[in-house]
């Protein structure tokens, strides 16, 4: 459940309410990012607090809502389209993304949508800007800013995430285009170690990205995904997650990132996908909340979990279990496949199926909305929604 500080309504978004070029961190004395208002007030004299207030009470971390991750790269989107027999063309990607953002009433359950760069600048099939459609739905547009994973020299066949070069100018441009938060995903592999080098590289990259994003007015989502690959048990995942999050927050502090202006997108603490001992939702909840309480400062306003290859129902049940009692943070979801899988298959690329696919999307969004409030029961779920989506060695 959301903490008491987050239990406020979510008024309709208005672009004009965001101050152009505002920073979520305190600017240095030599830099003026916003001209002083004609009649200063304590609220307007603190653009940082203004941004955080909107983040907490008005936008992404609002009760009963979570994030739709629709930021698949063109290559990854192509894999999804191929699964329903569609060619990976811009027109097909546009048609599918239009289906998602125009689902009637989506903003009742979804507070933010993470977009790929193509989508941020894209229009719907009806010629309306995707960003404008989201804002009309009371959904905050966000943007994926990392440039993907590449091999990490000197490691145990591990990866690092590229994209820091030119990030300042890109985030400034994304802000002008309407994005108000950003996402950077890096990964840690348990079967490959993880090595100290890989953990440090993941944490440092996330911290630099967070500081740069805040300097350019975007709320950073910090996402070190601990991959499901492996035969390890839940205790090993917990051990690695403790190490990873300790490193992440150390470097966030070193880079002077403002904790109150950060959202997290962690993995749930689960056994490896190939482990014989499966965990119940209660076990996943117990381990995950124990991790959060040991590593995550209460200043963080929102924790939006990734699904990481779990089935649609499994991800929702685990989220629901974590919201059976009060938490210091807004504990919610930022799902991609766990919101889209059945929707995509229902659509199958056919215009006559758009309405049915949107209805399926709303069913999943509502289920996770209930889970964020701790009220999901799992009744009436389809067999398709119960199918696991883990792919060994999956490359995004």
Number of Cβ within a 10 Å radius of residue 228: 25
Active-site choice (247, 265, 312, 381): 265
Number of Cβ within a 10 Å radius of residue 233: 15
3-state helix, strand, coil in the chain (%, to 5): 45, 15, 45
φ/ψ of 330, rounded to 5, equals: -80, 110
Beta pairing, strands 181-188 & 330-335: unpaired
User: Tokens 């995004």 appear where?
Assistant: 396
Q: Which of 222, 228, 354, 201 is nearest to 284 (CA)?
A: 228
Q: Which of 180, 213, 23, 51 is nearest to 114 (CA)?
A: 180
Write out the two tokens for 165: 């070069």
- The continuous run of DSSP H or E covering 367 comes out as helix 354-372
User: Tokens 């805040």 appear where?
Assistant: 214
Beta strands in the chain, from DSSP E residues, in sequence order: 66-70, 110-115, 140-144, 149-151, 159-161, 181-188, 219-226, 263-264, 302-305, 330-335
Q: Are 281 and 335 in contact (CB under 8 A)?
A: no
User: Tokens 């059945």 appear where?
Assistant: 342
The residue length of the chain stands at 396
Write out the two tokens for 283: 């076990």
Q: Are 245 and 237 in contact (CB under 8 A)?
A: no
Q: Are 290 and 327 in contact (CB under 8 A)?
A: no
β-strand partners of 22: none
Q: How far apart are CA 209 and CA 201, in angstroms?
A: 12
What DSSP string describes 71-106?
---HHHHHHHHHTTT----HHHHHHHHHHHHT-TTG
β-strand partners of 220: 182
Active-site choice (72, 158, 201, 223): 223
Q: Are 308 and 225 in contact (CB under 8 A)?
A: yes
For residue 265, indicate whether it is catalytic.
Answer: yes
Catalytic residues: 223, 265
């Amino acid at each position: 459940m959301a903490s008491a500080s987050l239990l406020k309504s979510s008024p309709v978004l208005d672009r004009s309410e965001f101050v152009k070029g505002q920073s979520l961190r305190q600017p240095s004395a030599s830099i003026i990012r916003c001209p002083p208002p004609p009649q200063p007030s304590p609220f307007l004299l603190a653009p940082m607090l203004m941004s955080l207030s909107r983040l907490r009470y008005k936008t992404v971390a609002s009760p009963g809502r979570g994030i739709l991750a629709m930021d698949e790269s063109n290559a990854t989107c192509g894999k999804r389209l191929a699964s329903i027999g569609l060619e990976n063309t811009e027109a097909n990607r546009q048609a599918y993304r239009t289906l998602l953002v125009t689902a009637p009433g989506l903003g009742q359950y979804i507070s933010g949508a993470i977009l790929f760069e193509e989508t941020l600048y894209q229009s719907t099939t009806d010629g309306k800007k995707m960003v404008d459609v989201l804002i009309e739905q009371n959904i905050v547009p966000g943007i994926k800013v990392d440039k993907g994973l590449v091999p990490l020299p000197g490691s145990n066949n591990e990866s690092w995430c590229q994209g820091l070069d030119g990030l300042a100018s890109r985030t400034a441009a994304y802000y002008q285009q309407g994005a108000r938060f950003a996402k950077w995903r890096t990964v840690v592999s348990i079967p490959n170690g993880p090595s100290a080098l890989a953990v440090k590289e993941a944490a440092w990259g996330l911290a630099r990205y967070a500081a740069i994003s805040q300097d350019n007015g975007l709320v950073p989502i910090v996402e070190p995904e601990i991959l499901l690959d492996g035969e390890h048990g839940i205790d090993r995942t917990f051990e690695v997650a403790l190490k990873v999050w300790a490193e992440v927050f150390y470097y966030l502090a070193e880079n002077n990132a403002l904790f109150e202006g950060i959202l997290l997108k962690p993995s749930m603490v689960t056994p490896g996908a190939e482990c014989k001992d499966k965990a119940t939702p209660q076990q996943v909840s117990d381990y995950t909340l124990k991790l959060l309480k040991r590593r995550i400062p209460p200043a963080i306003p929102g924790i939006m979990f990734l699904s990481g290859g779990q089935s649609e129902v499994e991800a929702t049940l685990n989220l629901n279990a974590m919201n059976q009692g009060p938490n210091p943070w807004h504990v919610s979801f930022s799902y991609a496949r766990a919101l889209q899988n059945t929707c995509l298959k229902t659509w199958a690329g056919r215009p006559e199926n758009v309405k049915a696919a949107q209805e399926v999307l709303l069913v999943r969004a509502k289920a996770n909305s209930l889970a964020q409030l701790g009220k999901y029961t799992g009744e009436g779920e389809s067999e398709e929604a119960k199918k696991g989506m883990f792919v060994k060695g999956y490359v995004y």
